[in-house]
A and B are shown apart, each in its own frame.
Chain A
């Protein structure tokens, strides 16, 4: 049985279509990532699945229960962490956790084993007000609160936004460990580098999924040649690469530019040479051009550009 099934979900806010037909399945014990920028419709998906809003079209089931009909049953069995860390700022760490435990008719002690790993980070600050915690700590507390009633599915809406890379790394380690205990997790993030930590991902853009697959398969579907170009003068290099007709798209990726080449019969070496010659002609020298394996971000931007141009 699937933990989450969504079929052709549609959601409108006035004339604005937040979701334009979204379908996916999440298996038991799977981390399913919804990857995309703000305003793409991620939060609408979470709110429909957690029974907070009604879809305008399509249907969804969580743990086999319909999100419209059986919402009481769903609310008893899911854990939810909304986009902003929904904690009571004026209550202490311990008071927050205890409150959420009581809310679900349980106690911290009863389910301590489940949150132990996470809560151990917080234990030294148990008396501190939640409002005085740093971003990383708030995030861990919010996760503990969402877990304390031992839910079967966990919905995490952008849990790592605004949190520093160290805390983000720790957070993902925790999620992997929870998955091993059989929990299904649906998580959204705007950080593409977190995609590879999910079992399966959906790339979302303007209310539709560009693709849904395992990160590896999404990457393997990217068959166009991808070249990393760097040189002494990066900004003008970017502009000049984009002017070359054989280049489909080019974006800056840190210390190199990633150029996607249009499909052609030329060999990879020939394409590199072509790029090198064209760039020399526009005055660039000392260039380093090498083929690279795409990452999820390359894939997202490629699919995004395709959509944009169609």
Chain B
């Protein structure tokens, strides 16, 4: 049989698969609407204004400056001071009991050091598990502190003038300085909510590719059409391959939608190379497709295929990919397991390129691991594929 004929046969397969997909309008709508809804939801969650952030204070110096600063912060609409702590150790407890979102830790003898040594130190500690509040709160506290610093400087200048010390010029006066330092607890890398975007991308692509491909192959087994296809001269694996192509196209389309929404709606900066973001995403789509095919060679019922791709793939993808919880703070065992989740590597590399704005060489290892996954899983499914029932 000629090569032309083989190609024609293959294309008629692909055409048939497109028909299946396009005629099942309901499923197609779900596939397209779901990522849109997820991205939009996360977008709204991101843009929420902060208000009444709970502040815990440790103030060992208890002088005029600290109490003024504290009352200024408390007076602002963004913050409410909820607790005065007895020691630095109290911060952890305040975060755990959810009685504070951020903590301000003054040093001893704050006023004196700020005015006379130009080195008043104030530490802002943020509960990093609440990524939404973190960066905004730090920003607002810093701005209140800097205006307070100006106030102090003016007062110090006035005091000096009143003391009649005209001998010393302004240059000689030690400037008032407050040094703030920020510390994150629980989430030291200060992962912003933008992290959800790569997470959602990984999840959606995994869902569409793995679940839809495996279900559509298993459906043929269930309906008995696979029997007829097997009893025909067509190479069984080309049947499977023909199924993968339309889902590849659909996934690529969904990728496009997600990227557009992220950039234009929630304004996630794609600071790295767009080309590499797309190429790595396509690589991940291939990995997911191969997982779907592998599942389909192992099960005989559609429900089982859905269950496996839903439970066995989705849950680890959500929980162990760093999308919801930082992997760094997980127990070692879970960290090892997370290395086996392809979505983790995909999400890692997309974060590097999209949000940190670094080039492909900073996530080359993750990309290579994805290539490894692709080879192994495809190999396994070819090996597991039976051309009998």
State if A and B touch, Cβ cutoff 8 Å: yes
Q: Interface size for chain A: under 10, 10 to 19, 20 to 34, or 35 or more residues?
A: 20 to 34
Query: Complex: how many Å from CA A82 to CA B20?
Result: 21
Query: Complex: how many Å from CA A100 to CA B24?
Result: 21
Q: Which of A47, A72, A91, A100 sits near B389, CB closer than 8 Å?
A: A47
A/B interface sample: 14 pairs, CB < 8 A = A52-B227, A75-B230, A75-B232, A82-B224, A83-B224, A86-B223, A87-B225, A88-B20, A90-B19, A95-B19, A98-B12, A103-B12, A105-B5, A105-B233
User: Chain B interface (Cβ within 8 Å of chain A)?
Assistant: 1, 5, 8-9, 12, 16, 19-20, 23-24, 223-225, 227-234, 388-389
Would B20 and A90 count as touching, CB distance under 8 A? yes
Q: Which of B9, B224, B227, B389 sits near A103, CB closer than 8 Å?
A: B9
Would A105 and B225 count as touching, CB distance under 8 A? no
Q: Which residues of B contact A50 (CB under 8 A)?
A: 227, 231
Would B9 and A53 count as touching, CB distance under 8 A? no
Q: Considering only CB atoms, which chain A residue lies closest to B22 in the complex?
A: A90
Q: Which residues of A contact B388 (CB under 8 A)?
A: 51-54, 71
Closest 6 CB pairs of A and B: A86-B224, A102-B12, A76-B233, A80-B231, A86-B225, A52-B389
Q: Considering only CB atoms, which chain A residue lies closest to B387 in the complex?
A: A71
Query: Complex: how many Å from CA A50 to CA B223?
Result: 18
Q: Considering only CB atoms, which chain A residue lies closest to B239 in the complex?
A: A103
Shortest Cβ distance from residue B387 to the other chain A in the assembled complex, whole angstroms: 8
Shortest Cβ distance from residue A153 to the other chain B in the assembled complex, whole angstroms: 11
Q: Which residues of B contact A146 (CB under 8 A)?
A: 228
Would A104 and B224 count as touching, CB distance under 8 A? no
Tell yes or no: A145 within 8 A of B by CB: yes
Would A82 and B227 count as touching, CB distance under 8 A? yes
Tell yes or no: A241 within 8 A of B by CB: no
Would B12 and A86 count as touching, CB distance under 8 A? no
Q: Which of A75, A86, A91 sits near B19, CB closer than 8 Å?
A: A91
Would A86 and B228 count as touching, CB distance under 8 A? yes
With contact pairs A52-B227, A52-B389, A88-B225 given, residues A95 and B16 touching in the complex (Cβ less than 8 Å): yes
Would B224 and A52 count as touching, CB distance under 8 A? no
Render A47-76 as a binary contact track against B, CB cut-off 8 A, 1 for contact: 100111110000000000000000110011
User: Chain A interface (Cβ within 8 Å of chain B)?
Assistant: 47, 50-54, 71-72, 75-76, 78, 80-91, 95, 98-100, 102-105, 145-146, 149
Shortest Cβ distance from residue B227 to the other chain A in the assembled complex, whole angstroms: 5
Would A82 and B389 count as touching, CB distance under 8 A? no
Q: Which residues of A contact B228 (CB under 8 A)?
A: 80-82, 86, 100, 145-146
Query: Complex: how many Å from CA A220 to CA B169?
Result: 135
With contact pairs A53-B389, A90-B20, A90-B23 given, residues A105 and B224 touching in the complex (Cβ less than 8 Å): no
Q: Which residues of A contact B233 (CB under 8 A)?
A: 72, 75-76, 104-105
Query: Complex: how many Å from CA A105 to CA B232?
Result: 10
With contact pairs A54-B388, A90-B24, A105-B1 given, residues A84 and B232 touching in the complex (Cβ less than 8 Å): no
Would A104 and B232 count as touching, CB distance under 8 A? yes
Query: Complex: how many Å from CA A99 to CA B232?
Result: 12
Would A102 and B24 count as touching, CB distance under 8 A? no
Q: Which residues of A contact B227 (CB under 8 A)?
A: 47, 50, 52, 80, 82, 86
Q: Which residues of B contact A87 (CB under 8 A)?
A: 225
Q: Considering only CB atoms, which chain A residue lies closest to B230 in the complex?
A: A52
Query: Complex: how many Å from CA A86 to CA B19?
Result: 17
Q: Which residues of B contact A104 (CB under 8 A)?
A: 232-234
Query: Complex: how many Å from CA A225 to CA B227?
Result: 46
Shortest Cβ distance from residue B13 to the other chain A in the assembled complex, whole angstroms: 8
Shortest Cβ distance from residue B251 to the other chain A in the assembled complex, whole angstroms: 21
Q: Which residues of A contact B229 (CB under 8 A)?
A: 103
Would A105 and B9 count as touching, CB distance under 8 A? yes
Q: Which residues of B contact A91 (CB under 8 A)?
A: 16, 19-20
Q: Considering only CB atoms, which chain B residue lies closest to A100 in the complex?
A: B228
Query: Complex: how many Å from CA A53 to CA B230?
Result: 11
Given A86-B225, A103-B9, 6 more A-B residue pairs with CB atoms under 8 Å apart are A52-B231, A52-B389, A75-B232, A90-B19, A90-B23, A146-B228
Would A102 and B8 count as touching, CB distance under 8 A? yes
Q: Which residues of A contact B231 (CB under 8 A)?
A: 50-52, 75, 78, 80
Interface centre among A85, A89, A102, A149 (most CB of B within 10 A): A102
Q: Considering only CB atoms, which chain B residue lies closest to A87 in the complex?
A: B225
Query: Complex: how many Å from CA A38 to CA B109?
Result: 93
Q: Which residues of B contact A76 (CB under 8 A)?
A: 232-233
Q: Which residues of B contact A99 (CB under 8 A)?
A: 12, 16
Shortest Cβ distance from residue A154 to the other chain B in the assembled complex, whole angstroms: 12
Q: Which residues of B contact A52 (CB under 8 A)?
A: 227, 230-231, 388-389
Query: Complex: how many Å from CA A95 to CA B16?
Result: 8
